[in-house]
Amino acid sequence: MGTTVAVEVFNYRSARAEKARIGTNLTKSWVMVLGVCMVLLLVAGGAFLVIQWPIGWALIGFSVIPAMIVEWKNGELANLAPVKNSTSIDGVLSGDILGLLSHKPTPYEVATIVGQVYGGQFFGARFGIGTGFLQEIASQEAKDIDGLWQEARTIAQQTGSSTLSAVVLLVALVRRHPKYEILLAHLQLSNEDLLQGIAWHNHLKDLIIQQAIPKRTGGVARDWSFGWIPTLSRFGHNLSQGIGNHGLLSVKLEAHEEALEQLIATLGAKGSRNAVLVGPTGVGKTEIIHALAEKLLDAAAAVPADLKFRQIFLLDASALIAAAPGRGELETLIMHLLGEAYSAKNIIICLDNAQLFFEEGLGSVDLSNVLLPILEAGRLRIILTMDEQRYLQISGRNAQLTNALSRINVAAASRAETIKVMQDQLITFEFRHDVTYMYQALSEAYRLSERYIHDLAMPGRALKLLEAAAGYAEGGLVTAHSVQQAIEKTMDVKVGVASGDAEREKLLNLETLIHARMINQTRAVAVVSDALRRARAGVRNQNRPIGTFLFLGPTGVGKTELAKALAEVYFGGEDRIIRLDMNEYVSSDDVSRLIADGADDSTSLTARVMKQPFSVILLDEIEKAHPNVLTTFLQLLDEGILRDVKNREVSFRDAIIIATSNAGADRIREQIERGLDIEQFEGQFIDELISTNQFRPEFLNRFDEIVMFRPLKKDELIQVVDLMLADVNKTLALQKVSVKVSDEAKVYLVDSGYDPRLGARPMRRVVQRAVENTVAKQMLSGTVEPGSTIEISLEEVQKILGNKLAADAISADLTLQR
Amino acid sequence: MVYYSVSRYNEDMFLAGIMSWWYGNGLRLRLGMIGGRIARTNDYFSIGLLASTLFSPYRQISAGKVSGPLSLQLRAFVDRLISRLIGAVVRTFMIVFGVVAISLQAIGGAVVVFFWLLIPLFPVIGLLLAVIGWVPPWL
């Protein structure tokens, strides 16, 4: 490493080291043997005394020795306390490691021991860092051990670990490797993740200790002075009772802690003592209520005496509405419930999803008139929970109601907090699904849920994905790949790096596959293919769309066709295109149509992308859109994010965005006709687009590439005719008939169908009419047998199309339609 | 793969270690356990709470002032009086039970501590009795 390390003292013969070795020697089997010995000595001693042999006293006396050893093992040796302010490393090493160390340990020896004990196995299962890996990276030189102890001490300090446990030593072993960051990157981990792992391990140990400590919850007479609550017990859910019986397994979040303190302050205050927890769904509002219930029941917790041992009853709006469906019944029931709670004097009422009590509609009822006087009087403590939107709606409708409530905002959890919540929830998930989660799965669940799950806030959205991933466990292990599969299957996106041979092959040959259905425009095809390859190799910027392209050029040169080809070849079908004709977005009001809520307008851009994030977004004829619409697209193109009307972030980071424009098409044609190559006038052309105010520079700058499509040459158009004929043959395959057109006829078709203003577009109709009409006539006349090939000559085409004028008429017809 | 087996320990350390723990941290741990058990029993019977609410109504059905005719108020008063009487009886019984339970636990704890202190001497006492050759005649 090149750095000087202080010499750490390791005293193999210290009292603590000796105790550690005794503890390690006393395995479970030995403890069992000692137990049996004790019983045998007691029984034999008793039996001897019965037959009047005094030796029985000695046996009974000696029976306490195995019992004392077992007591010592459980009381001290199983969990050796560290020596305070120890300068010697044996004073702070955890007992399970210390008991196995030799006189002159090496890092390799430590690595092997770490892999044998619980902490090492924890990291092996959760992080994929097993004994083999540790042995590979650990030095076998005894002189390197001081550096390891130093590193371990630093890590213990960073993580607040009281001993140098197996997990601390494991991380120290990894960090002692000169290229540890590269090693960790292979495991999709970072130094920070390892420190999180130590915290996780320590937290689990603390939980086990806490669970063993009996809780003081007020005792048998706690509720005797309070009222009888038969109706509340029937219709409400007593949170305190459940917590009193089983305890609450939860992590204390900073985001929640603040809200909890505010809640206690509000409920413990004089005057109005009602609070409303406002935050998006999934943020943990109900969890805060549970935490409050637990805190109030804890005799040792610092809460106002007036609140101590109060019980929280959760009233579920939908259950109450279902229980009292008749007119006026619900009001009566609510009044009865609240009256009972008031009389009992030790109840706090919680109305979960309280918006259902304040709005008219299916499955809800407006109880403002009933609840408002009670809330204003402030004699009964009531907590409401609702989301921000509903709170604002109710506030707008009935300001008196919200004035009677103290608002407490519940913020979404941060990444670190969400990971902690997930770690706690894993205990339940693992038991429920019989799986083991790796840490990488947690990180991936956070990352992917943040991007793809929009209807919940953190930590709810990450938990939802994490639980879904259990269904994709491999060999009982939930990995980052399981989480990717869960999101890929539920959201129909591709989030992992391309791994299958078929997909890799497809990506490497993307240009060839696209060219199978479109001619030339090689630069456009190349830039789009490169963008996809970057995305699927995992080397693109994850905070932008896969690619953003502006295709410029005259009509009928393949701009839209390329988007369709891409959608079919890679995205799984032409239906993966989300196509917006921008000439429908010509007024500033049209912005609202782009970002409308899916419930109101399922065709809005944000709603469609939420439903299908992995897609090609085609913004056709972008130059026709209103400037405000283009401004809306700026953030989308830059960060891959668009906020919908409900202020939800909709991710476009799995989409390819293709905007097409005919702006300056005549200019392109003119320059090409003058014999210039596109590359020669590209820069000048884009400047002209800006100077003529067709596009603003900040808009054009947002695109990864601006690609100019040039008009097709005659030989290319013949290839286009071939593609069109291939399409016709595909249709005729059902009839077991195929068509072959002579080369002269193809040239004639190109001459007849090509229009410099409309590109290749009219040619398709000309080809269809010429070929399909011929085939139809021949099939009806019975001259075509199944399996035969219809050969179409120049004369036949001329006969069908009549002359060039007829073809022009078709073109003109098409022009009018456009 | 190499596995590390347990190393030898100093046998002298064994005796010193177990005895110093037994009369040091072991004894403290045992006292803590007895204290914790008594605290749990005390919490279960909540004697302090029972005493402070001795004459409070027991599981009251109605609360607050009752307005209305005198007969109704009188009835409410009698109801509450009966409730208070029942409460006082039940709570008194619980206080007595609680005090007895805690006392028994304290005595049991003292016995445990006494034996804890004596246990290391049991082998010596046993050997002495065996040498003396006394056996209880009733056995």
* Tens digit of each residue's pLDDT (9 = 90 or more) over A151-164: 999 999 999 999 99
Which residue is closest to A19 within chain B, CA to CA?
B17
Domain assignments of chain B as residue spans, ordered by start: 2-132
Please count the other Cβ atoms lying within 10 Å of the Cβ belonging to residue A685. 18
Nearest CB among A75, A131, A226 relative to B21 is that of: A75
Q: Do B26 and A71 touch (CB under 8 A)?
A: yes
pLDDT, tens digit (0-9, with 9 covering 90-100), for B4-62: 555 556 677 888 999 999 999 999 999 999 999 999 999 899 888 899 888 888 876 55
- Token code pair at residue B81: 């009086």
Percent of the residues in chain A that have a pLDDT greater than 70, as a whole number: 93
Q: Do A75 and B17 touch (CB under 8 A)?
A: no
Chain B CB within 8 Å of residue A54 CB: yes
Dist CA A172 CA A97 (whole Å): 14
Supply φ then ψ for residue A163, to 5 degrees.
Answer: -125, 165
* pLDDT value at A673 more than 90: no
Please count the other Cβ atoms lying within 10 Å of the Cβ belonging to residue B98. 21
Percent of the residues in chain A that have a pLDDT greater than 90, as a whole number: 36
pLDDT at A730: 81
Query: At A808, is the pLDDT very low, low, confident or very high (cuts 50, 70, 90)?
Result: low
Q: Is A268 exposed, middle or buried (0-12, 13-18, 19+ CB in 10 A)?
A: middle
Q: Is A42 exposed, middle or buried (0-12, 13-18, 19+ CB in 10 A)?
A: middle
Supply φ then ψ for residue A531, to 5 degrees.
Answer: -60, -45
Q: A74, A65, A147, A76: which is closest to A105 by C-alpha?
A: A147
Name the more confident of A669 and A103: A103
Which residue is closest to A108 within chain B, CA to CA?
B2
Chain B CB within 8 Å of residue A65 CB: yes
Dist CA A526 CA A516 (whole Å): 14
Chain A CB within 8 Å of residue B15 CB: no
Please list, residue by residue across A644-667, b when 16 or more beta carbons sit within 10 angstroms of its beta carbon and e when fewer do. bbbebebbbbbbbbbbbbbbbbeb
- Token code pair at residue A139: 């030095």
Chain B CB within 8 Å of residue A377 CB: no
Task: Give A218's contacts in chain B (Cβ within 8 Å).
Answer: 43, 46, 49
* pLDDT value at A1 more than 50: no
pLDDT at B7: 53
Name the more confident of A648 and A655: A655
Dist CA B101 CA B107 (whole Å): 10
* pLDDT value at B1 more than 60: no
Chain B CB within 8 Å of residue A116 CB: yes
Which residue is closest to A70 within chain B, CA to CA?
B18
Do A1 and A33 form a contact (C-beta atoms < 8 A)? no
To 10 degrees, what angle do helices A480-491 and A460-469 make?
A: 100
Q: Do B87 and A217 touch (CB under 8 A)?
A: no
pLDDT, tens digit (0-9, with 9 covering 90-100), for A443-456: 999 999 988 887 78
Nearest CB among B25, B43, B133 relative to A299 is that of: B43
Query: At A441, is the pLDDT very low, low, confident or very high (cuts 50, 70, 90)?
Result: very high
* pLDDT value at A738 more than 50: yes
Q: A544, A736, A562, A570: which is closest to A641 by C-alpha?
A: A544
Q: Which residues contact A457 (CB under 8 A, 6 or more apart)?
A: A279, A280, A281, A282, A283, A412
Query: What is the H or E stretch that residue A790 is in?
Result: strand A789-792
pLDDT at A255: 66
Q: Do B4 and A112 touch (CB under 8 A)?
A: yes
Dihedral angle over CA of A334, A340, A342, A348, nearest 10: -70
Task: Give A19's contacts in chain B (Cβ within 8 Å).
Answer: 13, 17
Dist CA A171 CA A110 (whole Å): 12
* pLDDT value at A499 more than 70: no
Q: Do A54 and B130 touch (CB under 8 A)?
A: yes
Q: Which residue is it, tokens 């992308």?
A: A609
Query: At A28, is the pLDDT very low, low, confident or very high (cuts 50, 70, 90)?
Result: very high
Does this model's pTM top 0.95? My answer is: no
Name the more confident of A405 and A61: A61
* pLDDT value at A364 more than 70: no
Mutation choice for A interface testing from B1, B2, B6, B128 by most A CBs within 10 A: B6
Task: Give A64's contacts in chain B (Cβ within 8 Å).
Answer: 119-120, 122-123
Mean pLDDT, chain A, whole residue set = 85
Q: Is B27 exposed, middle or buried (0-12, 13-18, 19+ CB in 10 A)?
A: middle
Query: At A12, is the pLDDT very low, low, confident or very high (cuts 50, 70, 90)?
Result: very high
pLDDT, tens digit (0-9, with 9 covering 90-100), for A329-347: 888 888 888 888 888 888 9
Q: Which residues contact A507 (CB under 8 A, 6 or more apart)?
A: A498, A532, A533, A536, A570
Highest mean pLDDT: which range of A36-50, A385-399, A670-684, A786-800: A36-50
* pLDDT value at A66 more than 70: yes
Do A452 and A651 form a contact (C-beta atoms < 8 A)? yes
pLDDT at B10: 67
Query: At A376, is the pLDDT very low, low, confident or very high (cuts 50, 70, 90)?
Result: confident
Strands A641-643 and A649-651: antiparallel
Distance from CA of A612 to the nearest CA of B (A): 50
- Asked, as a colleague might, if the bond just before A459 is cis with ω within 30 of 0, I would say yes
Q: What residues of chain A, 303 to 342, have a C-beta less than 8 Å from chain B?
A: 342
pLDDT at A815: 47
Q: Do A112 and B1 touch (CB under 8 A)?
A: yes
Dist CA B42 CA B98 (whole Å): 7
The alpha-helical segments, DSSP class H, found in A224-377 are 230-235, 239-246, 254-268, 285-297, 317-323, 329-344, 368-377
Task: Give A228's contacts in chain B (Cβ within 8 Å).
Answer: 59-61
Phi-psi region of A675 (alpha: psi -120 to 50; beta: other; left: phi over 0): left
pLDDT at A92: 94
Dist CA A726 CA A764 (whole Å): 12
> Mind giving me the DSSP string for chain B?
---PPPPP--HHHHHHHHHHHHHTHHHHHHHHHHHHHHHHHHHHHTHHHHHHTTTSPSS-SS-S---S-HHHHHHHHHHHHHHHHHHHHHHHHHHHHHHHHHHHHHHHHHHHHHHHHHGGGHHHHHHHHHHHT---TT-
Distance from CA of A218 to the nearest CA of B (A): 6
Do A710 and A678 form a contact (C-beta atoms < 8 A)? yes
Chain A CB within 8 Å of residue B92 CB: no
Mutation choice for B interface testing from A63, A64, A73, A228 by most B CBs within 10 A: A64
pLDDT at A3: 47
pLDDT at A806: 55
DSSP state of A576: G
* pLDDT value at B65 more than 80: no
- Please state which of the ranges A405-414, A660-669, A762-771, B84-93 shows the lowest mean pLDDT: A762-771
Task: Give A54's contacts in chain B (Cβ within 8 Å).
Answer: 129-135
* CA-based torsion, A691, A694, A696, A702: positive or negative: negative
Averaged pLDDT, A291-299 = 88
Q: What residues of chain B, 42 to 61, have a C-beta less than 8 Å from chain A?
A: 43-46, 49-50, 53, 56-61
Averaged pLDDT, A777-792 = 79
Q: Is A286 exposed, middle or buried (0-12, 13-18, 19+ CB in 10 A)?
A: middle
pLDDT at A539: 74
Q: Do B129 and A135 touch (CB under 8 A)?
A: no
Half-sphere exposure of A142 (CA within 13 A, CB side): 6
Averaged pLDDT, A702-725 = 82
Do A621 and A510 form a contact (C-beta atoms < 8 A)? no
Nearest CB among B6, B40, B139 relative to A25 is that of: B6
Distance from CA of B107 to the nearest CA of A (A): 22
pLDDT at A247: 59
Which residue is closest to A15 within chain B, CA to CA?
B13
Supply φ then ψ for residue A131, to 5 degrees.
Answer: -60, -45
* pLDDT value at A803 more than 70: no
Do A567 and A657 form a contact (C-beta atoms < 8 A)? no
Query: What is the H or E stretch that residue A550 is in?
Result: strand A547-552
Do B124 and A61 form a contact (C-beta atoms < 8 A)? yes
Name the more confident of B2 and A494: A494
Dist CA A566 CA A585 (whole Å): 25
Averaged pLDDT, A218-247 = 81
Q: Do A227 and B129 touch (CB under 8 A)?
A: no
Query: What is the H or E stretch that residue A348 is in?
Result: strand A347-352
DSSP state of A179: T
Percent of the residues in chain B that have a pLDDT greater than 70, as a whole number: 86
pLDDT at A272: 74
* pLDDT value at A243 more than 90: no
Size of interface A-B (CB pairs under 8 A): 169
Do A309 and A301 form a contact (C-beta atoms < 8 A)? no
Dihedral angle over CA of A554, A558, A562, A565, nearest 10: 160
Chain A CB within 8 Å of residue B87 CB: yes
The alpha-helical segments, DSSP class H, found in A434-472 are 439-452, 460-469
Q: Do A64 and B120 touch (CB under 8 A)?
A: yes
Highest mean pLDDT: which range of A301-315, A645-659, B42-56, B92-106: B92-106
pLDDT at A2: 42
Please count the other Cβ atoms lying within 10 Å of the Cβ belonging to residue A405. 23
pLDDT at A253: 66
Nearest CB among A22, A99, A224 relative to B17 is that of: A22
Distance from CA of B55 to the nearest CA of A (A): 9
- Please state which of the ranges A1-10, A59-68, A290-299, A686-695 shows the lowest mean pLDDT: A1-10
Mean pLDDT, chain B, whole residue set = 86
Chain B CB within 8 Å of residue A219 CB: yes
Dist CA A552 CA A376 (whole Å): 64
Please list, residue by residue across A338-369, b when 16 or more beta carbons sit within 10 angstroms of its beta carbon and e when fewer do. bbbbbbbebbbbbbbbbbbbbbeeeebbbbbe
Averaged pLDDT, A753-782 = 75
